[in-house]
Every structure is written in C-alpha cells, then in structure tokens.
Structure 1
Amino acid sequence: MTDVVERTRRLLLDELRPIFAGAREWDLTDFPHHFNCGDSAIWLGCLAIADELGITVRSTTSSRTYRRDKLTSNGPIVLNGGGNLGGLYPVHDDLRVRILTDFPDRQVVQMPQSIEVTDTRILDRLKRAIVSHPDFTLLVRDHRSLAIAQREFECRTVLVPDAAFALGRLDRRPPIEDVVLQARRDGEAAAERDPGRPTVDWNTARILSLRNLGRSAVTVADALPSPALSAAVANGFARQNLQWGIQTLSRGRVLVTDRLHGHVIATLCGIEHIVVNDRHGKVRALWEAWTSDAPMATYVPTWRDAEAALDDLVNGRHVS
C-alpha cells in the first residue's frame, strides 16, 4: 500500500495539474521572510510543485518587497500557502487584496491555506477583492476552511493537502535524546499549554547564527537589481531554515509538537511523534483531512493528554 506521504503528495499534484494546465511560468509571491520553518517548507513545496509541473518561477517577492512591476511572467500569480488568511496575520491579507486589485486580468491562485476569521473588516475587504476578480482560485487544506470559504467567498475553491507535502520523503537527523517537546509561544498556542518539561520552538534565532545571517542576506539581496540573485538567496534561506527545523525535530527519538508543520515535517521525516491541537483547531483539521492514518503520529487534543500519551509511548518502546 502506498504510504501516507507519497499518497498525499500524489493527491496534491493530481489536484493541481488541471488548475495550472497550460501554465509555463509563475510569479510566486509572499515569500516567508521569517524564522518559521513550516512556512519555509510550504515555500519549498511550492517550488517543488512548479518543478513537477514543468513551470518556471519567473519572479519571487515578499509582502515587504512587493511591487506591481516585479510580477512579469506570462502565467499565473501564485500566493504562498499557510495559515494566514482571515485576519490572523493582516499583512498577508493586505498583499492578497493588492494583488487581486493590481492584476484583474491575470489568473491568481492562492496555495493551500487554513482560514481563521479574526477580523471582519479584513474579511470584508478580501471578499470585495475576490468577487471583483474574474479568475481567482482559493485552495484550502482542511474541511473546516473549505466550509468557511464556500460560505464567505465567491470564487473557485478546492480542497487539497498542504503544499509542503510536495517535498515528499525527507531525511531526518539521528536522534540525540529520548524526547523533544516543541511548544508554540505565540498567539496560536493553546490556552492550556504547560507541557511540564523544557520545550523548543523555531520562531527566533540568535543574532550570531547562520539562520540570522541567512535572513539578513535575503534583506540585502532584495535591494539589489538582480531578480535572479534575490530569488536564489531567498530560496537558499528557505532551504537552510527547513534543515534547521528538521534538525530540531530530529533531536528526540520521540517528538511532541503543537505546530502544524512540526507534525507535517515529522511525518515527512518518519519521526515518531505526538501532535497536540492548537488554539484555533487547525492542527486537528489538517489531521482529520489527511494524516489520521500516519503510522508514526498520534493526535491528542491537549498538552495534558500529550503527557499521558507520551508516557504510554515511552513505556511501550522501553525508552530510558
């Protein structure tokens, strides 16, 4: 039987082929200029999708560096996926509105998103921009987001897996300890989130670190006149960031994480892990849609449940 990683990758690509039929070029937008390794995985997944479909990524831009004249391909404008549609992170919704307004005559595709409506004013702006655009496709990565999209937006909406699954199998690093706990430290963390043990996360980096140097290089490259150099530096940072994330998650023989892409990357790497739901429920929604049969993963609703599941797992595996 095809494993969950390859099955989900094939499903993603099969759903995207008709959406991008005939496309030879993309403008890929909303580069994640930050340390969230999951967003880097999504970006690299989009590049893998383009490569699989025989599409050249003609330009890349972020929400900070977007200018209308940078998007020059003879093909769709593609917005990076993630969990930032609906007001949770307004800068990304602002970029969507700008692109839909600036390019009424071009196909625009939003790569797979989770939708969380936290600001009705932002939602209303987005709804007006979408209804005014004749060729916008919204891809969502769970059934809950699909229901919201079908209720709120007048556009083509398709349920597909998260773009990071396009990366396929990834190589994990050798474990160096028994258990690693990755716990969110931001507004998406569950209200009850004291795992009772030391935790790690990936949203920050030391000033004197290769990750910080890589992100600084992206800033410098953005200011240079060479789009190819800017894209190469940005993509290099994304690869570096993903590898740092893999290294972090691989440290333990068993991982416990409440990050959606902690779960996704661990699944791609074959890391045995427990995934804990987040404040908004997007982890559970993705689990129910695509990964509930992943053999190396166990879902639990709270950190308290995670502690009990971890004890069972560790005892069952005789981890000392």
Structure 2
Amino acid sequence: MLNPKANPSAEMTAEMQLERTRHEKLSVELMARHEVLLDLIGCAPFHYVDIPTHGNVGDLLIMHGTLAFFRKHDLVPKLIAPYFAYDPCWIAPEDVIVFHGGGNFGDLYPYFQELRERIVQNHRENRIIVLPQSLHFSSIEKMKQSAQLFRMHADVHICVRDQVSYQMAQEFTDNVYLLPDMAHQLYPMRVAGAEPSAGSLRISRVDDESTQQSGLRNMVSTTVTDWPEFVGAREVRINLFRRAIGAFYRRGLGWSANSILVRLWIAYSGRLIADAAQLFARHELIVTDRLHGHILACLLRKKNIVLDNSYGKNSRYVEAWTLNSELVMLQKSNAAIAAANTRFGLNAAAI
C-alpha cells in the first residue's frame, strides 16, 4: 500500500488546499469588516459620488465592489454620479453623501479633493462618508488647509486603508475607520472557461505613482502590461461615455445622465473587469506595483508578488490586510525575489 507522505503530488495538493483555506478565511474576514458602513449609512437616502469613468481597472474594481456591498445589504443609492456630473444642489437635508474610495484623497489628484472640500464646506448638516482611501499629500501646508475645512464639519466619517493614512486622517476628523479596500467585496471571482494557467503576468505602473525599483524592471515575465495598455483601443468608447455624461450634465440633464448613462457605464465597465480577470487567470503568478493588480490576484486566488508604488501605498496596504495570505509576497528589496522563488516553488525564469 502506498504511503501518501511519500507522494510529492499528494503533499503539494494538501499544501495548496491549506493555502486556499487560509486565503479564503482572510478574504471573508476582510469583507465582514465593511459592515460598519451599515450603521453609518443607516436607512437614510444616500448619494454614491465620484465614481470612476476611466479605464483604470483598479478604480473600476473598487466601484463594482462597492456596488456589490450595496446589493448584499439591500442598499439602493438615490443617485450615482462621477465628480464632473454631480451638482451639490441635489443634496436634500436628509441625504447622506458617500464618496468613492481609492487613492485620490490628497493633492495628487486635486479635482476629486476639491469636490469633497466643497461639499464639506457647504453641507454641514449632511452626514459625509469617505469610503476606504489611502491618503497622500505632497505638501504639509496643503494637508493642514484641507484638514481645517474638514474639521468645520461635525459629521464627517473617513475610512482609510492603512495605518499611515489612519494617523493622517486624525487631522481631518475624530471619526476615522481602518477598513480594507471595497474591491474585496467581489471575492471570490471566477472566470468561466479559463485555460490552465502558466507563466507570470507583470502589471507595471507607467503613471505618476510608478516606481524605479530595479527588482520589478529586471524580472522576465511571460506577459507585461499596465492598465492603460490593457484597455487599449477601448479607451475611445470609455471617452464617449465620459463625454456623453458630461454633455448631458452641462445641458441641465445631469440627473437623467446619472440615472441612465451611468447605469450603461457600470455595465460596460463590468466587461472590462471580466476581461482583466481572464488575463490574470491565464497566468500562474502575478507580479505588480499596482495595488489592484495585487487585489485582483487575491480575488482570483492567484499567487502574487507586490512591489511598492512611489509613496509606499502598496506596502502599507499589504502589511495592514493581506500579508498573512500564503498567496502574497511583499517585495521590499531585490533579495525578496529569491525568497518568492523558494516560497512559490518557481524558477527565476518563470518570474
């Protein structure tokens, strides 16, 4: 009779099952942490503001995760709108304002912050909730100016994704909550008809948050891309959605644009996410300095190596939430690549 312990395949299968079990437990715990939002929103009518209308798959994952959370708990937004097609005059006295999460709280992307500040200043009787964000200000002076505005509002609630952001947010309000990214509400993601996975996929930033770490640039991957390259020619259709919503809004038809066109946009952006999931599913390992490259890999239960962005957002997030998953390796130095090889049983050439 064969001894199962002498069978390397049996040992590997048992180890993989243990990894999935640990990862699944972690993922369920992350989703459960969002339930604090139920008390914050309560039964009040609410606006979901600042949704993304661009091809950044990470932001789209956050949006769809947020909408999935709403559906799970029978929450129906009174209005869903992007920042450029939202009129604060629509806010009724009883409305709660729920701002989209992500990484745009600060001065790196000023348009989004300016909308939040304007509503905080002019609607002090309405509860305001900022869904999980990573905070970043390049200027301490700008941070203090923004915090002063927020402090004038007594009912602002800011959710943050990491400990550094948690400390910063204390300057803005006493109501600060440490929560994971809303995209985790999409767990588990499944890809229909996915082919067996092989090789590695590298998602590497080309924007203002890119990093110069040589560890990522020196890796040899099966496939290399970034969200803009992945979206490619579909950016034309994305721009049409954005222009159409903006045109309706400028003609005084903003409410109709957000009721009809935004719903169409949400459906279309779901197809972009499905395509990204197909791409990830074709690879055994994901290597990325995109936070949502990491999160999408986790949603699909894929092994992944995470590198930092320009200001440490990724490492802060992984250390706060996902590092205990045996599918995740955080690289803070080039030596970590060798450690990842050993941990995931991969050859250097496979990365």
Instruction: Tell me the TM-score normalized by structure 1.
Output: 0.88
1:289 aligns with 320
Contact 1:9–1:166 (CA<8 Å) still a contact in 2? yes
- 2:186 alignment partner, one of 150, 161, 167: 167
The one-letter code of the counterpart of 1:247 is Q
1:18 aligns with 39
Instruction: Judging by fraction of residues, say which structure has more helix.
Output: 2
1:212 correspondence with 2:243: no
The one-letter code of the counterpart of 1:178 is G
1:257 aligns with 288
**After superposition, what is the alpha-carbon deviation per residue over 1:67-119, rounded to whole angstroms, capped at 9, x for unaligned?**
22344594310110011112121111111111212322111100001111213
Contact 1:48–1:167 (CA<8 Å) still a contact in 2? yes
Rg larger in 1 or in 2? 2
* TM-aligned CA deviation for residue 305 of structure 1: 4.0
Give the fraction of aligned pairs with identical amino acids, expressed as a percent.
24
Within 5 Å, which residues of 2 pair with 1:98-247?
Answer: 98-150=118-170, 152-172=171-191, 173-174=194-195, 177-193=198-214, 194-197=217-220, 199-204=224-229, 209-224=233-248, 225=253, 226=256, 227-247=258-278
Equivalents in 2 of 1:306, 1:34: separation in Å?
34
Count of aligned residue pairs for this structure pair: 315
Contact 1:59–1:72 (CA<8 Å) still a contact in 2? no
* TM-aligned CA deviation for residue 34 of structure 1: 1.5
Equivalents in 1 of 2:303, 2:218: separation in Å?
18
Equivalents in 1 of 2:182, 2:70: separation in Å?
11
* TM-aligned CA deviation for residue 36 of structure 1: 0.9
Equivalents in 2 of 1:275, 1:196: separation in Å?
13
Within 5 Å, which residues of 2 pair with 1:48-67?
Answer: 48-67=68-87
1:299 correspondence with 2:330: yes
- Of residues 140-149 and 119-128 in structure 1, the stretch that sits farther from structure 2 once superposed is 119-128
- 2:306 alignment partner, one of 275, 299, 306: 275
Equivalents in 1 of 2:86, 2:159: separation in Å?
22
* TM-aligned CA deviation for residue 233 of structure 1: 2.0
Equivalents in 2 of 1:102, 1:237: separation in Å?
34
Contact 1:108–1:135 (CA<8 Å) still a contact in 2? yes
Where structure 1 has 5 or more consecutive residues not aligned to the other structure, the ranges are none
Instruction: Tell me the TM-score normalized by structure 2.
Output: 0.81
2:27 aligns with 5
Contact 1:131–1:153 (CA<8 Å) still a contact in 2? yes
Where structure 2 has 5 or more consecutive residues not aligned to the other structure, the ranges are 1-20
The one-letter code of the counterpart of 1:170 is M
- Secondary structure at the aligned position of 1:56 is classed as coil
2:108 aligns with 88
* TM-aligned CA deviation for residue 184 of structure 1: 0.8
* TM-aligned CA deviation for residue 171 of structure 1: 1.4
Equivalents in 1 of 2:59, 2:219: separation in Å?
27
Distance 1:85 1:206, change over 3 A: closer
Q: RMSD of the TM alignment (CA)?
A: 2.6
The one-letter code of the counterpart of 1:10 is A
